[in-house]
Structure 1
Amino acid sequence: MTEKVDFKKTLASYRAKRGVFEVIEVPEMQYLMVDGHGDPNTSPEYAAALEALYPVAYKLKFASKRQLDRDYVVPPLEGLWWADDMAAFTTSRDKSQWHWTMMLMVPEWIDAALVDAAIAEVRSMGAPEKLDDIRLESLAEGTSVQTLHVGSFDDEGPVLARMHDEFIPAQCLRLTGKHHEIYLSDPRKTAPEKLRTILRQPVS
């Protein structure tokens, strides 16, 4: 029987501690990605991105097990977030001004041909709206600061302010990449106060 890999257990970059800012080295990884803009709570574009990402991710998982004899747990949803004025993200939390890239990590043994085949299979079953916007892309964040936030997404602001304005400068580091979130909880099944989200910021 094929051993199923769970990257949340095998990669240190999927682990973080609540109330602790840690400097870590994040390995280069590849993702299925879809870009968009606007409030994730109300934007049809955001919902459409997830409706396209997940079917492709699961087709890849099944193809990997069937064709390559390598099984894995589909990793958690992740997102890169930014705004033209970052105060809209950390202070005012004006979600209408947010840009985002939603992502699902895929193992290094998955290649572009397998992704193309998975997209074609999903298309044959009725193409989601943003299916053609999916791309396979590597992300090399390197040195990063991360912590675990437990609670509502709307309560992240003070944690990010401490990370950006206190911890990172105190380590003689500077922000270099986009704010990165990893969603360890399913918001459809988890109370807001119990949501577990890794908050990451690449630095140099």
Structure 2
Amino acid sequence: MLQLDLKKQYKPLFNPPSAGPVLVEVPEFQYLMLDGSGDPNNTAEYQPKVETLYSVAYTLKFMLKKAGTVDYGVTSLEGLWWVEDYESFSMTDRRNWLWTLLILQPEQVTNGHLAAAVAEVERKKGLELARKVRLEKLAEGLVAQVMHLGPYSAEEPTVRGLHDFITQNGYELTGKHHEIYLSDPRRVAPEKMKTVIRQPVKRPGS
């Protein structure tokens, strides 16, 4: 049976330096996705959606392993964050944030597998929210990214430094603010948490 470790296979994408941003090319990946809105610290919908996404992800993993298709580790939770009016995007005022939660999937996972996993999650856990999980591809291309060390609440200087790096190197921001949560906040002290901060970029006029 095929064995995959996606985080090891694509290590540069999951382990950028904390000393400063770098530019990397991100290939097209497919993800489990679930949308939401509002401040994740205050909205009642955030945590149930995280739990639902993980339930579907682990059900898929064990389903494909049992079938002898592929064995892989469930990767870290990720998030895309944006607002309708980009000029009003704020790291501190998150009431108008829109977001999509993501979990990276190997290419062997299909919509047929997802449908079976969703049905299983509904049957065993009664999570009707699982019906809203979708499998979708994301092609970010060239991105700037950096490792943020510390709590989520202290990300703003890291994000500002990333944006400065982008403009100083002759690029423009494009696409959505992307975060990869490498640490479990239930088990890791806030000052030791690691989060990849990623921003797609483009050359002006391209």
Q: Same fold (TM over 0.5)?
A: yes
Could you tell me whether the CA contact under 8 Å between 1:4 and 1:73 is conserved in 2? Answer: no
Could you tell me whether the CA contact under 8 Å between 2:122 and 2:128 is conserved in 1? Answer: no
Distance in 2 separating the partners of 1:18 and 1:177:
22
Distance in 2 separating the partners of 1:8 and 1:203:
22
Give the total of aligned pairs. 201
- 1:71 partnered with 2:71: yes
Runs of 5+ in structure 1 lacking a partner? Answer: none
Identity %: 45
**Cα separation, partners in 2 of 1:59 and 1:52, compared to 1, 3 Å:** same
SS at match of 1:131: helix
Deviation by residue 1:89-140 (Cα, 9 ceiling, x = unmatched): 445x112221110011110111110111111111111332521211110000
SS at match of 2:125: coil
Could you tell me whether the CA contact under 8 Å between 1:36 and 1:99 is conserved in 2? Answer: yes
**Cα separation, partners in 2 of 1:48 and 1:55, compared to 1, 3 Å:** same
State the match for 1:111 in structure 2: 110
Give the letter for the 1:137 counterpart.
Answer: E
Q: Select 2:165's aligned residue among 154, 161, 167.
A: 167
State the match for 2:146 in structure 1: 147
State the match for 2:83 in structure 1: 83
Distance in 2 separating the partners of 1:129 and 1:171:
46
Distance in 2 separating the partners of 1:68 and 1:90:
46
Distance in 1 separating the partners of 2:56 and 2:99:
19
Q: TM-score, normalised by structure 1?
A: 0.93
State the match for 2:93 in structure 1: 94
After TM superposition, what 4+ stretches of structure 1 lie above 3 angstroms from structure 2?
84-91
Distance in 2 separating the partners of 1:186 and 1:173:
33
Q: TM-score, normalised by structure 2?
A: 0.92
Runs of 5+ in structure 2 lacking a partner? Answer: none
1:88: Cα distance to partner? 5.5
SS at match of 2:147: strand
